[in-house]
Chain A
Amino acid sequence: MKIPEQDFFEKITFRDALRLAMYDEMKDDKNVIILGEDVAKYGGAYGATKNLLEQFGSDRVIDTPISEPTIVGTAIGAAMTGLKPIAELMYVDFFGMSMDQIGNQSAKIRYMFGGQISVPMVIRTQGGTGRSGGAQHSQSLESWIMYIPGLYLVMPSNPNDAYHLLRDSLKTNTPTVFIEHKLLYNFEGPLDKKNKVQFGKANILKEGNSISIIAYSRMTNFAVEAARKLKEDNISAEIIDLRTLNPLDKNTIINSVKKTRHALVLSEGHYTTGVASEITSIIFENCFKVLKKPVIRYTAEDTPVPVAPNLEKNYVPTVDRIIDYAKKIIT
């Protein structure tokens, strides 16, 4: 798998778009390094760093021992002293062991020290269901990160966004958690290196006027599929892909719901105190007078993730049920 050099791709996988983003960023800035478990020789558990070792050498693409807190901690120290590290944690579930370094250290350093220093680093990780990974390898823990002031949080849904947002993440000068959905790596779409994405701005993927469906990461694609079928019943859904959860583009959400007066929020995280709860309350707070129906959040269940494929599939939102709820909301 060689790394292609052109600026435009009619079709590229989400995985290769990420790889390209890291490649281009490392070419432009020699202080960008990658560290994590099996990122170099193996090329990353999901292949996102394949061939980068050959391109940039083992000083810049670094395999680490299985020591998550210290992977993050090392990235912090390097970021405080001139480098721009991309630390990869193989599964978002392993945030469990790294939360001190992520939440108490990286997020707080600039504030605690009165703005003296920034921590320009990215934690790339991967989450979500779909591979029967079970309770410790399938979670959606974005709300843990969204809860902590001081961390940016990016969850792209397609190759073009993934490419631009990853590159932007490295330029924010703020610790940024970048979560990739494990079933998106093979997802294909166009990539235009010149078609930049504004970091912190949601994307209205499809305009519509009967209901706003607000989603991010893989759920965006579920929403697109649902909207296609809803159209057959003359229901015109507006789809908003949040792209970044922090910063959160409230205005785009609010303006859309003011127009459609109905809202369905999708997330693969849990129902209770999840990202969807936050977005739902923002809509209630800001659109109360125009809403024709309660805002509905459609999420994964409030249980751990089961392994059995038949259970796992219905544990998270399905396209059929998105359609069903959308119809119920507008009728």
Chain B
Amino acid sequence: MNSKSNTNLQELYTTMKRIRVFEERVAELFVRGETAGSMLHLSIGEELGPACVTKAMIDGDTFTTHHRGHGIFLARGGDPDKMMAEIAGKKDGYCKGKGGSMHIADMSLGHLGANAIVGGGIPTVVGAALSYKYLNKKNVSIAFFGDGAMQQGILYESMNMAALWKLPVVFCCINNQYGMGTKIDDAVAVKDFSLRAKSFGLECLHVNHLDAEKAYTDIREIVDNTRNNKPSFIEVECYRFYGHARKDKSPYRNEDEEIENRKLDPIAFAKENILTQNILNEEEIKSIEMTVDKEMDVSMNYAINSPLNEEAEIFTDVYDKSYTIESVDSRINNILKNK
């Protein structure tokens, strides 16, 4: 039974399930009016990439994510309590409630930041990899971004520099077929993204199936290879099961398409494999699911019960601690006092 690869599948399944349920609880938190706003981008349906790529990471590796980054962060070890609290804009969140869903991060896990600017976090990993090469570390830095970011010029400047300087960078495109309401066919003339990456001199891997175990093996290989200063490009194809952000009901695509594509569920696929390969039985899977459910319920309640941050927090973290920012209120009152 529990051969190495079987444990891999079981682990990947659990990670993907945790992402799915985490995101479902974020959706619930939103419906209950407990999130900071509605700019919440869920990775439901896209769990395979985050689970497999983060599993190929080692201590000291770093990464940046796009705005749809909850899943990647959670898979890399993010604490769902603090993540959920951040999404709620609360004091106990990873960034004190000042960053929110789109800027969630934990530097101690090598998370160099989620980003609300499409493409904004990509060159950061080139710089991180420059450090590793200079400091003689065997680490890689990975940029996660969507198919929409494939159309940002900054990606190509980054690819070129990474290839030119032979840096341990992984460019990882989570291709969910849409950039907001724009289908990929309306955004590019040639969909084979690897062609672009190859032309810069990057190693390429294109994952377009639901087999997490196989994806992990292939991704592991290319990421390990990248550690030897061979920059790479990984594209993971998937489908964005729901709207772009919480308020988007996807009127620009038809229901048949959605129903058809939601069948491409990496979690259901993994579960099926686990059962047919007799890695776990129904009951054991049920027990994993219940554990995950409970974990995420606890996190949701943690976020709800976390206090609001104090107003003074508006002014912290802008500069080094020695620099204090005077509030507008204080400036105005001083002026009016002086006459």
Contacts and interface: CB of A to CB of B under 8 A. Distances in A.
Given A63-B186, A67-B152, A97-B117, A134 B99 contact: yes
Contacts of B103: 134-136, 307
The interface size bin for chain B is: 35 or more
A42 B117 contact: no
B290 interface: no
A310 interface: yes
A65 interface: yes
A314 interface: yes
Contacts of B325: 301-303
Contacts of A315: 314
Interface of A is mostly: loop
A298 B153 contact: no
Contacts of B313: 306, 308, 311
B120 to A, nearest CB: 7
A66 interface: yes
A321 B313 CA distance: 19
- How would you classify the secondary structure of chain B's contact residues: helix, strand, loop or mixed? loop
Contact of B116 (A136, A303, A306): A136
Contacts of A93: 116-117
Q: Specify which of B117, B328, B335 lies most central, judged by the most chain A CB atoms within 10 Å of its CB.
A: B328
A45 interface: yes
Given A133-B37, A301-B314, A301-B315, A66 B328 contact: no
B38 interface: yes
B75 to A, nearest CB: 23
B100 A132 contact: yes
B36 A308 contact: yes
A147 interface: no
A134 B118 contact: no
Interface range on chain A (Cβ under 8 Å from partner): 35 or more
Interface string A271-310: 1000000000000000000000110101111111011111
A70 interface: yes
Nearest to A68: B152
Interface in B27-76: 36-39
Given A67-B151, A134-B102, A311-B313, A41 B182 contact: yes
Interface in A110-138: 131-137
Given A66-B148, A97-B117, A306-B98, A296 B336 contact: yes
Interface centre among A132, A308, A315, A329 (most CB of B within 10 A): A308
Given A298-B328, A311-B311, 16 more contacts: A42-B252, A65-B151, A131-B37, A132-B39, A135-B98, A296-B332, A307-B36, A307-B37, A307-B89, A307-B99, A308-B90, A308-B313, A311-B309, A328-B333, A328-B336, A329-B336
